[in-house]
Structure 1
Amino acid sequence: MTRPPTAAQRRVIDAADPVTGRLRGTKAQLAALVRRGLAFRHPRPPHDHFLTPAGHRIREAGAEPEQASVETATETPSATGVFAARVGGEDAAPPGGPARRREVHSAWQGMLELRRMTNPDGATDRPCGWERSHLVQAAALALEAAGHTPAGPGTEGGYRVRATPQPEAVAVYEPDGGALRACAATLERAGWQAGEYTEPRTRARYLLASPRRV
């Protein structure tokens, strides 16, 4: 745990947009929030600042901030318990609603920033190294951030992202054909290549998706 934000920083956090987490403040205040992992700077003009999930938790609960990653200055999806995109079919899915939408939005904006910082040419329109080493989580984040509904435990509808034996490829299942094609369009916009296939045994349709390199 780190020390709580100053009174001035807290006022900036409290005044953030309740949905997007967009911040207004002085350059020094915003830079300080970024250093503490409570905010990140959007890679595209006008380079606005937004709350990270930790920043949203400070705003909503008045809790002390959790230690954030200095390396990225953002909270990206991980297995640390800070944030995890829903891959579909989880036994204990995180609650939905506005708070979850804000977390997903912040995580996706953080991912775009991570792309900008780690892709050699600074491109944000294709996946970065982190995504290539966390294929299932990365594809699920792209889908959830675009508003697709993950499958709940024991339910038929909604997407499910699963690992495959193929290198750099995940399978995306969605029983509704139209929703499956919408998932393909979302992944392609997020910098993935996606093709539709049929499982020989079950005849279930699914997407085979992999990160685009160029």
Structure 2
Amino acid sequence: MKPLTAAQRRIVEAADPETGRLSGSEAQLTALVRARLAFRHPRPPHAFFLTPAGHRVREEGTAAAAAPEPSPAPEAPEASQGFAARTGAETAPHAVEGPARAREVRTAWEGLVELRRMTNADGARDRPCAWERTHLVRAAALALEAAGCRPAAPGREGYRVEATPQPEAVAVREPTQEGLRACGAALERAGWQVSEHAEPRAGSRSRYVLASPRRK
């Protein structure tokens, strides 16, 4: 990626620190989109915002991010390079945490909601779309992380999302009953059908949530 011009750097540095909203001429902002440091929101007033890579450029004060990411495209929330919803099965420490990760998750979730609007026949935003039904584990994990639930990580307890033999269903496990119920409630708000079950193993007191994307 080409180094930013002085004008582009000023635009990036002047972005809103929370939302990443940008101000500048159409040509300048379009150039940042081409550089994968900004994206244009699909809904009016079609404002421009920093991508996660753009936020890193702004925060680090560098001419380019080490691993630039494209804007979260409506085609799929995982289209952005370097972003993946956390399922709790990761074995390596998370590279991005705190406000930077929260921004990545918020951007990916907004992209998924827009994908719902564009691909559901009735334009519904509160009901999972076809992409989610073909990426069950990642979709459920994104819904959980966007709702503020904490995924498991090395040395840290949290939720785990796992595939199941059942069609269009994932299992969500959490070490505490309170946490498990919070995960179930978060998925329900995101348009999933959930039910709580006991582990099939004899003598086990553990419970898990079975979740499926709601169709109506």
TM-score, structure 2 normalization: 0.80
C-alpha change, 1:81 and 1:46, in structure 2 (3 Å) is: closer
Deviations 1:100-121, CA, capped at 9 Å, x for gaps: 1222122212222222333333
Q: What is the aligned partner in structure 1 of residue 169 from structure 2? A: 169
Q: What is the DSSP-based 3-state SS (H/G/I as helix, E as strand, rest coil) of the residue aligned with 1:77?
A: helix
Q: Which has the higher contact order (CA 8 A, sep 6+)?
A: 1
1:27-52: per-residue Cα shift (whole Å, max 9, x none)? Answer: 55545544554334446666654322
How far 1:182 sits from its partner (Å)? 1.2
Q: Which residue of 2 aligns with 1:21?
A: 20
* Distance across 2 between alignment mates of 1:57 and 1:200: 46
Task: Give the Cα–Cα distance (whole angstroms) in 2 for the partners of residues 56 and 46 of structure 1.
Answer: 21
Query: Equivalent pairs: percent with the same residue?
Result: 65
1:153 to partner: Cα distance: 2.3
**Aligned ranges for residues 149-188 of structure 1 at < 5 Å?**
149-153=150-154, 155=156, 157-188=157-188
Distance 1:125 1:148, change over 3 A: same
Tell me how large the CA RMSD over aligned residues is.
2.9
- Counterpart code for 1:212: R
Give the Cα–Cα distance (whole angstroms) in 1 for the partners of residues 129 and 183 of structure 2.
20
Cα 1:197–1:115 change in 2 (3 A) is same
Match of 1:51 in 2: 50
Give the superposition deviation at 1:154.
5.1
Letter of the 1:143 counterpart? L
Cα distance, 1:149 vs. partner?
1.0
What is the number of residues matched between the two proteins? 210
Looking at structure 1, the residues matched to 199 and 119 of structure 2 have their Cα atoms a distance apart, in angstroms, of: 36
CA distance, structure 1, for counterparts of residue 6 and residue 123 of structure 2: 35
2-side partners of 1:16 and 1:42: how far apart? 15
Structure 1 residue 17: Cα displacement = 2.5
Aligned CA distance change for structure 1 residues 129 and 6 (closer, same or farther; 3 Å) = farther
Q: Distance in 1 between matches of 2:77 and 2:13?
A: 22
Residue number in structure 1 paired with 2:100: 99
Cα separation, partners in 2 of 1:86 and 1:152, compared to 1, 3 Å: same
Contact 1:158 1:174 in 2 (8 A): yes
Seen in structure 2, the aligned counterparts of structure 1 residues 16 and 182 have a Cα distance that, compared at 3 Å, is same
- Tell me what 2:9 maps to: 10
Consecutive unaligned residues in structure 1, runs of 5 or more: none
Are the structure 2 counterparts of residues 73 and 175 from structure 1 closer, same or farther at C-alpha, using a change threshold of 3 Å? closer
The alpha-carbon distance between structure 1 residues 53 and 154, as it changes in their structure 2 partners (threshold 3 A), is same
Cα distance change of structure 1 residues 53 and 199 upon mapping to structure 2, 3 Å threshold: same
CA distance in 1, matches of 2:122, 2:27: 28
CA distance in 1, matches of 2:103, 2:153: 20
